Chain A
Amino acid sequence: MEQKNAIECRHVTKRFGEVIANDNVNLTLKQGEILSILGENGSGKTTLMNMLSGIYFPDEGEIYVNGEHVMIRSPKDSFALGIGMIHQHFKLINVLSAAENIILGLEGKGKLKMEKIHEEINELTSRFGFELDPAKKIYDMSVSEKQTVEIVKVLYRGAEILILDEPTAVLTPQETDKLFEVLRNMKKDGKSIIIITHKLNEVLEISDRVAVLRKGKYIDTVETKDATVASLTEMMVGEKVELDIERTEPNHPEKRIEMRGLTCLNREGRAVLSNASFEAYSGEILGVAGISGSGQRELLEAIAGLQRVESGEVLYYDPEGQVHKLSDMSSDAIRDLNIHLSFVPEDRLGMGLVGSMDLTGNMMVRSYSKGRRFLTDRKSPKKLAEKIVDKLDVVTPSIETPVRRLSGGNVQKVLVGREISLSPSVLMVAYPVRGLDINSSYTIYNLLNEQKKKGVSVICVIEDLDVILQLCDRILVLSGGKVSGIVDARTATKEEIGLLMTAGGKEADVE
């Protein structure tokens, strides 16, 4: 008992209505260690951390910081205790510089000496091995630089305990390595760090110990050196899981989609997709990789007729050999032509589904215009909803439940189920497993593989590079709206893709 615990949670419980987000959780963070908190989505990791950072207040249980029993009632209290949280979504002001964001909200003397603050920040960053220019404006920064600002912000305020919520989700492999280097430096400096993640390789690489949560319950904490990917997965899921994704050879690939020099502008007139060209074939899965916001969304929406095309064209080759120019058509024209283009958008409840409607109503999104002239047909969508619930094991009280009330995985099953039911010839999916637990993720991978075997051309945006390398046949990498490379997924490496993701277009080939 020599070493004091930086944080200790005893019997912490938090409920949201009927849902128990944290059920009698015990957690210990030793001083000067890196602790990973591992758990699937909805296992209560973020809720627990939000109680430490003062966003939620526990219903039951006690929290000890450095051995003292504390009540954390607001983020301010949390800060006074030296706890700093780096959220998944950055809370920075775009038009201010890094230094200005860092000192924002701090009390100080009447006169602001910016140079002195810059010096202090530089001293801090060199100590831990960050790279940061304090005068740089946030809007000029990459995602990883913004994250650096967030971390320096809490360090500058004297945080001794850092909590990072999924810090690597937005980083390339190279950036992740850099971040880990910094975290190790901080640990050497005596800081205690909690890192929330669900990437098992990273857990094994960075942490000293791993705490596992499952469905709001605390399972166990193990020493990282005793753990393996398989053992951690089993703890996380509660059963043994087969972690291999099957990949068959494409069967008689035929050209389905061809994009030629497509450029799309956003509202401000900036090119979000510039001069993008690629081809997609039936019977294959084409993966799309890139740092988030590199044009993935626009790429898919342009094919679906939901994005205004500035120049270039999208062609669709139907199985009968006819060519349709999709870039000239609106989404309803594509629908009326009976081109079976299925699309599972990134924003499931905001674009693919109607959150307040029940399952039947959501099936009608694709089918309401068919049938009688004036009145809708609710019978066949209802049957379809029942079929999807039955086939994909959707957990729902009934098919009259608004989809908003379903869990993320079940929402996705409903959406993917509906899109597959259209028997598409092209299936586009964006971030198909984001927010899903492992079992649901594998259900979705299997569904995509099934479609591939049926001869569907699957185009799929996936953020997890390990998965994209295992699942896809070819990988298209986007960087800043440009196609920076198309690689064979069977031979490519993570590092190669990581470089393409940050490459400014053509220069990538030089590397």
Chain B
Amino acid sequence: MLSREMTKQKKEPLFQMVKRDYIAPSKALLIRFAAVALALVVCALVIIAITKQNPVEVYGGIISGAIGTKRRAWVTVRETVLLLLIAVGLTPAFKMKFWNIGAEGQILIGGTCSAAIMIYLGDKLPNALLLVMIFIVSILAGMVWSLLPAVFKAKYNTNETLFTLMLNYVAMQIVTFCIVFWENPSGSNTVGVINSKSKGGWFPSIGGSQYVLNVIIVLVVTILISVYMNYSKQGYELAVVGESQNTARYAGINVKKVIIRTVLLSGGICGLAGAVVVSGGSHTISTSTAGGRGFTAIIVAWMAKFNPIAMVVISLLLVFMQQGAIQIASQFSLNENASDIITGILLFFLIGCEFFIHYQIKLHKKSKEVQS
């Protein structure tokens, strides 16, 4: 028995996974670029397998879909900044290790409130006042939507993941309910484009471009949050709370207050994102208004390690591929799920490469074995 064990023991493992102590930023960047490159190759292989087309043509289609015309380029910009805004909104909560996966619901509620203002007050108030109102109300709506999980987390340490996730479905039901009242044309079960003639509550076009205001809002919020996170006392407090509540108490930080304040901030920004979707983009409301962006933004924020510039790059990459995929889907008559496949492959590689950033694979030298 013993000797059998021993012969088995003579074999040395072929390779070992070793946790890295430290990785040079340049090397980490290189691994990430390699992951993107690999993802693009695999995407190409998949697309070729489906469409039997020349890959160069396929990538041409993707590029044309994302930035081929001025309109397409602006849509790409609009979607990028939107994703960025949600990721920025999630940042304070995540930094505090509050896993807010309820951005989807917070966006929907913010969007619903914007739609309500556009529908009921759209013709009665000047546009500037209307927009200010939309911003304030949508932020408040997002805050209200995150208040419940925040208070429960602070008071009873409930699991925020389930709580925020469940509220997404509540938000969807509220939207469905509202659509009953706002149907246009009646019987269509959709709200249709709100104020398509008066454009009440729409973002005004600045310098001939429709989405300039979106960009401005997102940039301002991003900069404010960066300053808040890095230079404010409140930002410091939430970072300490996220790292260790014991240290926070030791430092005399009111942990409950910080949790509630931070989650409300996060929810408020996600609510604002709802206004940007509705007033600054679709001009309608449906249960798919958030469209999964609340979840995609989690990946953006997380992969960027909350660095705003990295968040811009990752948002752009994801949106670029998505928009491009929509184009090749119609070009090669695939259905709209093709874009999900492309995004999925991209995310698989981007998230998977984190393994190689944290671990390294060590091969054992064969020669060692001979000695025994």
Contacts and interface: CB of A to CB of B under 8 A. Distances in A.
Contacts, number: 101
Contacts of B13: 57, 73
B5 A353 contact: no
Interface stretch (B85-93, B198-206, B246-254, B276-284): B246-254
Contact of A376 (B6, B233, B250, B251): B233
B244 A376 contact: no
B111 to A, nearest CB: 31
Contacts of B57: none
A376 B10 contact: no
Contacts of A334: 252
A18 B22 contact: yes
B129 interface: no
Nearest to A355: B243
A166 B254 CA distance: 39
A357 B239 CA distance: 9
Given A62-B372, A68-B6, A71-B12, A306 B250 contact: yes
A70 B249 contact: no
A362 to B, nearest CB: 9
Contacts of B22: 17-18, 405
B234 to A, nearest CB: 8
Nearest to A364: B236
A365 B251 contact: yes
B189 interface: no
A19 B9 contact: no
B232 interface: yes
B21 A19 contact: yes
A304 B249 CA distance: 10
B52 interface: no
A70 B239 CA distance: 49
B16 interface: yes
Interface string A60-87: 1010000011111100010011000000
Contacts of A260: none
A499 to B, nearest CB: 34
Contact of B16 (A17, A57, A361, A374): A57
A354 B244 contact: yes
A68 B251 CA distance: 56
**Interface band, chain A:** 35 or more
A262 B368 CA distance: 63
B233 A374 contact: yes
A356 B372 contact: no
A354 B247 contact: yes
Contacts of A70: 6, 9
Contacts of A39: none
Interface string A85-98: 00000000000000
B357 to A, nearest CB: 13
B6 to A, nearest CB: 6
Nearest to A348: B247
A276 to B, nearest CB: 21
Interface centre among B10, B18, B244, B368 (most CB of A within 10 A): B244
B47 interface: no
A343 interface: yes
A405 B240 CA distance: 17
Contact of B251 (A57, A69, A368, A378): A368
A17 B23 CA distance: 10
A70 B6 CA distance: 7
Nearest to B11: A71
B355 interface: no
B237 A368 contact: yes
A334 to B, nearest CB: 7
Given A17-B20, A77-B5, A331-B252, 15 more contacts: A18-B21, A57-B16, A62-B372, A71-B372, A304-B250, A332-B253, A350-B244, A351-B244, A354-B239, A354-B240, A368-B237, A374-B232, A374-B234, A375-B231, A376-B232
Interface of B: 1-2, 5-6, 9-13, 16, 18-22, 231-237, 239-240, 243-244, 246-247, 249-254, 368, 371-372
26 contacts: A17-B22, A19-B21, A57-B13, A57-B16, A70-B6, A71-B11, A77-B9, A80-B6, A306-B250, A331-B250, A331-B251, A345-B250, A351-B244, A351-B250, A353-B247, A354-B239, A354-B247, A357-B240, A361-B239, A364-B236, A368-B233, A369-B252, A374-B232, A375-B231, A375-B233, A376-B236
The 10 closest A-B CB pairs, nearest first, are A17-B21, A332-B252, A71-B9, A335-B252, A351-B246, A365-B251, A80-B5, A354-B243, A331-B252, A368-B236
